[in-house]
Structure 1
Amino acid sequence: MLRKLLWWLVIIGLLASLPLAFFREQTEKSANQVEFVFDYRDLLEMADVRPNPQGFVSEQLQAMKKAGIGSLAVYESTLSELRLSRRIEVFSSKDATSLTQKPISPNENFTYILFTDPASESQIKPMIETAFNKLGVKTSPWSFKNQAGMIIEMNMEEANMKPMDPDPITLQMMKDEGFRIVVRLGNKREFVTNEMDALLAKLYKLGARRIIIDGDYAPGYSDDPEQVTLHKMGILLKKYDMGLANIEMLKQPQKGFGSLAKDTDYNVVRLHSFTEKDGEKLTENLTKEDQEARIQQTADRFVLAVKDRNIRMLFLNGRAVKNLDKAAILTPLDSLYESLNGKDGAIKRIEDAGFKVGPAKQFDYTYNTYQNVARFFTLIGGVSLIVLLVGYFIPEAVLALFIIGLLGAAGLFFKSPDLYAQGLALACAISAPSIAVIEAIRSIQSGRAAKAKSAVLYALGLLIKTTLISLIGVVYLVGLLNHISYFLVLQQFRGVSLLHLLPIALVGLYLLFFRETLNYRERGERVKKLLSTNISVLWIIAAAAAAGVIYYYLSRTGNEGQTSAIERYLRSFLENTLGVRPRNKEFMLAHPLFLLGAYLSVKYRNAVYLLLIGVVGQLSIVDTFAHLHTPLEISGIRITYGIVFGAMIGLVLIAVWEIASRSWKAWVAKSRTRVNG
């Protein structure tokens, strides 16, 4: 009766969590504009190796607009970048001596600047003077052949690195050309509220609505535990309705980003970066077919990022590369344009998927008061689900564990809501697939498999029932982590390795020691017998092989998972053919072997061990939804494909088994007839 009560509590919590999944789906559909941004500094560096740099920049800006790139990213200016923009020329003291043919003190190591035109002098000179005077560095006028300039009393190498406000001439040019401006701001300068206010006001007037943090630290971040200046930066961003872009797959989160995101009411979009190194792959020596394939892979990458990972900003980079075989300096720009707007280009496919090309906008997320009601039921239901799992191993302790679990979860919720949500979500994610497969084993052990009229229908029904139980963990996971910070990957679901190992270990433990009706003394004797068994060389080899399999299995989990070239090709084929790629381990391994095991268990007792491999498929279903940045609809299609194709392959395995089994029996019967004859 207590187990039935726990199941009812699980179902009530399940029903209470379903509306939260609906709210999340509505949030996912609230922003459908995708923004393509090119790094303007990279364009300047590529232009620097061309005979007509400014002409090259103008030509490429037109090509970018035609290809669908509507935004340009600008950084805080440096002397190096101003030189690339042809605003100034920069010299060391030694260079200035050679230029002027006038001796300069051998003890001097300054930076000399000449402005290329009157406009640069009038707008850039005050900016440079202000920046270096703030650093306590003296500046003075200088000229050469009636060309105005200045001297900065700092060595050229260091002076070239000092940040200033973005180049105002470049910003105005971008606006006049019809480009949106995305600004990259770092924490390299001292944060002064009034100055940042003035800078953001100027950027807002020019149309900038989103910034990307440049470097590891957000503007305003400091060692102050209160982070006063960081919060001031957040207030200013909100004042000018400026949002952030969260760069995916960084090794370390940018310090202060989460605080700014919260201060801006999560005015954040996810950003995928196509790096300079990625661009180099488009400039390698390739045949025409291989080059087309690489362009197609780039397009596939952009589409996948938008469709499968809720990316709304694609940040494009490139660099000039020396190609010795062709005796030329190449850029990836033409190939990049083709990947966006050529045959099977990314932009058309993104639009066909229901998105629009335009300025990236934040997702519409509002905290619904219903979540307070749902939280109460998910706590009780989640604890019930965990206790049900423990009950398969220690049934006598179910009531005590339920009471202790409720008190512990409630206490953790009031002490640390985030830790409570992540901990309970992980426990439910582990419990659901474990319970699902254990219930499948119990179904076989109870004799229902032997009584089935059709072994095939029994196996299919058991696979569907097991999957439905695993999906309970999905609903709890989505309900508990139903916050925009998880959706934007400002917080992440923790414990992926545990999710991939514990259900296998728990089901294996149940198979070995708990599926039979034994008392604790008999189980102890079985464990003792197992531990005292003589170990052979074969066992050692098997253990080493098992360790290798586990290592390979874990190496494939998470965003850093490793895959072979063949598997990457298969993934690409499935993605382009089906639109959504099912997980290989589900439909090629786990579900087929689960189905085969359930089918064979009708006749063979030990076939139940095949269900242990089926655990991989069930936990993979839950793990698919643990990728909280992936739309629920995509995850649902993915696991549906996995079940359907897995069942089809499983039916093929059953047919192969029957053919092989009957052929073997016929051959044995013939052999006996010959011997007896």
Structure 2
Amino acid sequence: MTRNKWLWGVLLVLIAATSWGLIQRMTTELSNNQYETIIPYDEITKLEREDLSGDITTDMALKELKDGGLDAVSIEPDTLSNLEDNEILNIMDKDKIENVLYFLGSSEALPEEEGIYLTPPNEEYYDQLIKDHFDPKILNINDQTLYFIEGTEKIDDLPLGYNLDTIDKLKKSGFNVVLRVANQEPDLNPSLVEDLLKIKDKGADAILFTGNETIGYSKDKDSAEKIKTYTKKLTAAGYSFYTIEFSDQKGMQSVARSSDYSIIRLHSLNLNNTKTYEENVDQLVRAVKERNMRALFLRLPHEDSKSNLDYTVRLLKDTEKEMPSLFKSGDATPFSTIQVPLWLTLGLLISATLFIYIAVSHLLTHKLALVATAGMGVMTLGYLATQKLLILQAVALGVAVITPIFAAIPNEKTLVEKKSIITQYAKAVGISFIGIILVIGLLNGNEFLTKIEVFKGVKLVYILPILYMTVYAFWGNIRNLLKTNVVYWHTIVIALASMTIMYYIIRSGNQGSVSSIELLIRQKLEDLLYARPRTKEFLIGFPFYVLSIYLLIRKQEWAKFLLIPGVIGFLSIMNTFTHLHIPVYISVLRTFYSVVLGLIIGYILIYLFNIAKKYFLKAVNGRFQ
């Protein structure tokens, strides 16, 4: 016991000494408090094209959106196809030209080669753009000038470059400009990068990749090197990059690493959905507040142009109105760099080793604790030699799995002697936070903050503590259980525990079923408390844990089975903090509410249990078994 007290002292000193990394993480999150809203330029121009009344112009729409709070507009490079869509030119094939000549009674010969024919744009900018990219043959057919571009490949969707006039107009209107960039054929990407470099000083701010790939990605062996080369050039020019939530764009990890994580997290919302207006606003606010999103990309609803514009302007205004005062609408920027020096990581690895030794010696045996310590020592040396991130992720997983078990299993002798629920509850929460601090510290840095790298092993944190607690509860009690006479109140407890476990299984994971009533309650809790506590913590895990401690103090061995649902609270709060892209202060606030509410509901559960016990004892003639 004396040895463990000494080790606890060393561990707490180490955690205090390494807390600088956690403070830096929280400071970085809180200081980056600007978010931006983005709408594609082609959807804004579409408002004018599809307005049957003729009252809406692109300039008017831009002004209304700006007044509503829109911060940025994304633009795509011009292609022959979208130039045709915008009525800047016409694209025709050979058959169409021959048909026109036939009806005109003309017998002029056309080039024998395969290709497409264009009507020259009236605007000099576009005319020069086509000449620079395709060097077309200039034909005079039936007194009409046409451009002929030879080739059998589909060239009408190839990027011609970004419209500098559009960029200039958007900048003068007060918008940030986001460039949409698509991965091209390998031989076209170098020229695309050069175009991006040339227009950087024209006012472009950041790059948002389209499709499922980043620029330079391919299945070739040199793909990563190409991505690295392109990214470094663009980063040096001043570009930052967006990463889209729930979109696994191939090559993004290489882009992030090569840009030193000059990444802005983006949440995309298509307003042409089945959600209510209020749900759309809530979703946008929650993305910024709870998931460190700093860009909100909106696709306009499919309605008539006037309704479309009015809806979007109203949404922008209400999103800004509902956004917490911490956040301001403006120019989104990447998070500042979190410095994690080697000495800090080493201190955390030593702290994790001590923590696991103490935990294993408490849960199992001193010999197994020494084996676990030796394993941790090997991993620490391995990290010092290689500095592989995977080693830190493995250590963090070990800490995350053992922490809920260590926190939930009490020292039965001490528990009976002190007879204090509050003391044991506080001790369990304290152990949990030590493990949480270690996990956050080990997996600290911009790679985790931007979710380019993640905590590995979430499912194990959900499953292993419950399995261990099940074995712990049954160990040594099976024979006694088989001999125990079952009375009414036993069946009530068994039914409650069974329903709790079933509910936990149904609700675990992102695909869990949630009723409309619960969604309403969730929203009310969020409105009231800023960050909603997790249901499985304050309604299931912690109340059952409090009840189990109450009964264990009274030497009720069967109460160990209540630790099975009880451990859910501790593994859930660990799981909350392993979502490393979520702001730390949000996770702390959410957990604080869960701990406090769980304790209160736990005492209510004790009260209800005693009433039920008294009632059923009377029902079986006062016998309590």
The reply to whether TM is greater than 0.5 is: yes
Equivalent position amino acid for 2:297 in 1: F
Q: Tell me how far 1:97 sits from its aligned partner.
A: 4.4
Q: Who is 1:229 aligned against?
A: 226
Q: TM-score, with normalisation over the residues of structure 2?
A: 0.86
Q: Who is 2:489 aligned against?
A: none
User: What is the distance in 1 between the residues matched to 2:522 and 2:52?
Assistant: 43
Once the two structures are superposed, the pairs formed by residues 497-576 of structure 1 within 5 Å of their partners are 497-513=459-475, 553=504, 556-557=507-508, 563-576=514-527
Q: Who is 1:336 aligned against?
A: 312
Q: Who is 2:415 aligned against?
A: 448
User: What is the distance in 1 between the residues matched to 2:244 and 2:298?
Assistant: 12
Q: Confirm whether residue 309 of structure 1 aligns to residue 291 of structure 2.
A: yes
Instruction: Tell me if structure 2 keeps the 8 A contact 1:20–1:479.
Output: yes
Unmatched runs of 5 consecutive residues or more in structure 2: 482-495
User: What is the distance in 2 between the residues matched to 1:602 and 1:581?
Assistant: 32
Equivalent position amino acid for 1:207 in 2: G
Instruction: Tell me if structure 2 keeps the 8 A contact 1:17–1:476.
Output: no
Instruction: Tell me if structure 1 keeps the 8 A contact 2:224–2:254.
Output: no
Q: Tell me how far 1:398 sits from its aligned partner.
A: 2.6
Q: Confirm whether residue 61 of structure 1 aligns to residue 31 of structure 2.
A: no
Q: Who is 2:171 aligned against?
A: 175
Instruction: Tell me if structure 1 keeps the 8 A contact 2:383–2:392.
Output: no
Q: Tell me how far 1:501 sits from its aligned partner.
A: 0.7
Q: Which of 359, 363, 368 does residue 397 from structure 1 map onto?
A: 368
Instruction: Tell me if structure 2 keeps the 8 A contact 1:309–1:629.
Output: yes
Q: 1:548 to 1:643 in 2, by over 3 A?
A: closer
Q: Who is 2:386 aligned against?
A: 415
Q: 1:609 to 1:154 in 2, by over 3 A?
A: same
What percent of counterpart residues are identical?
27
Q: Who is 1:15 aligned against?
A: 16
Equivalent position amino acid for 1:503 in 2: P
Instruction: Tell me if structure 1 keeps the 8 A contact 2:47–2:56.
Output: no
Q: 1:466 to 1:70 in 2, by over 3 A?
A: same
Cα deviations by residue, 1:367-390 (Å, 9 ceiling, x for unpaired): 25xx32222222122123223343
Q: 1:655 to 1:193 in 2, by over 3 A?
A: closer
Q: 1:202 to 1:415 in 2, by over 3 A?
A: closer
Q: 1:231 to 1:144 in 2, by over 3 A?
A: same
Q: Who is 1:80 aligned against?
A: 81
Once the two structures are superposed, the pairs formed by residues 654-669 of structure 1 within 5 Å of their partners are 654-665=606-617
Q: Who is 2:559 aligned against?
A: 607
User: What is the distance in 2 between the residues matched to 1:53 and 1:280?
Assistant: 27
Unmatched runs of 5 consecutive residues or more in structure 1: 134-138, 283-293, 322-327, 453-457, 517-525, 531-544, 672-677
User: What is the distance in 2 between the residues matched to 1:147 and 1:637?
Assistant: 71
Q: 1:231 to 1:663 in 2, by over 3 A?
A: closer
Larger CA deviation: 58-67 vs 596-605: 596-605
Once the two structures are superposed, the pairs formed by residues 452-531 of structure 1 within 5 Å of their partners are 452=419, 458-513=420-475
Q: Tell me how far 1:551 sits from its aligned partner.
A: 8.8
User: What is the distance in 1 between the residues matched to 2:527 and 2:97?
Assistant: 59
Cα deviations by residue, 1:252-287 (Å, 9 ceiling, x for unpaired): 2x2332333333332211111113xx42436xxxxx
Q: TM-score, with normalisation over the residues of structure 1?
A: 0.80
Larger CA deviation: 487-496 vs 181-190: 181-190
Q: 1:108 to 1:404 in 2, by over 3 A?
A: closer
SS at match of 1:26: helix
Instruction: Tell me if structure 1 keeps the 8 A contact 2:500–2:565.
Output: no
User: What is the distance in 1 between the residues matched to 2:367 and 2:612?
Assistant: 46
Larger CA deviation: 21-30 vs 169-178: 169-178
Q: 1:49 to 1:446 in 2, by over 3 A?
A: same
Q: Confirm whether residue 219 of structure 1 aligns to residue 219 of structure 2.
A: no
Matched residues, number: 603
Q: Tell me how far 1:631 sits from its aligned partner.
A: 1.2
Larger CA deviation: 42-51 vs 66-75: 42-51
Q: Who is 1:111 aligned against?
A: 116
Equivalent position amino acid for 2:171 in 1: K
Q: Tell me how far 1:433 sits from its aligned partner.
A: 1.2
Once the two structures are superposed, the pairs formed by residues 54-453 of structure 1 within 5 Å of their partners are 55-99=56-100, 101-102=103-104, 110-115=115-120, 118-119=122-123, 122-132=124-134, 139-142=136-139, 149-154=146-151, 158-190=154-186, 195-196=191-192, 198-222=194-218, 223-225=220-222, 227-250=224-247, 252=248, 254-275=249-270, 278-281=271-274, 294-318=276-300, 320=302, 332-341=308-317, 345-350=318-323, 352-368=324-340, 371-391=341-361, 392-438=363-409, 440=410, 442=411, 445-446=412-413, 448-449=415-416, 452=419
Q: 1:146 to 1:552 in 2, by over 3 A?
A: farther
Q: 1:31 to 1:505 in 2, by over 3 A?
A: same
User: What is the distance in 1 between the residues matched to 2:405 and 2:456?
Assistant: 18
Q: Which of 632, 635, 638 does residue 590 from structure 2 map onto?
A: 638
Equivalent position amino acid for 1:461 in 2: T
Q: Tell me how far 1:595 sits from its aligned partner.
A: 1.4
Q: Who is 1:652 aligned against?
A: 604
SS at match of 1:620: helix
Q: Tell me how far 1:12 sits from its aligned partner.
A: 3.8
Equivalent position amino acid for 1:600 in 2: L
Instruction: Tell me if structure 2 keeps the 8 A contact 1:20–1:478.
Output: no
Q: 1:550 to 1:503 in 2, by over 3 A?
A: same
User: What is the distance in 2 between the residues matched to 1:645 and 1:594?
Assistant: 13
Q: Who is 1:536 aligned against?
A: none
Instruction: Tell me if structure 2 keeps the 8 A contact 1:13–1:382.
Output: no
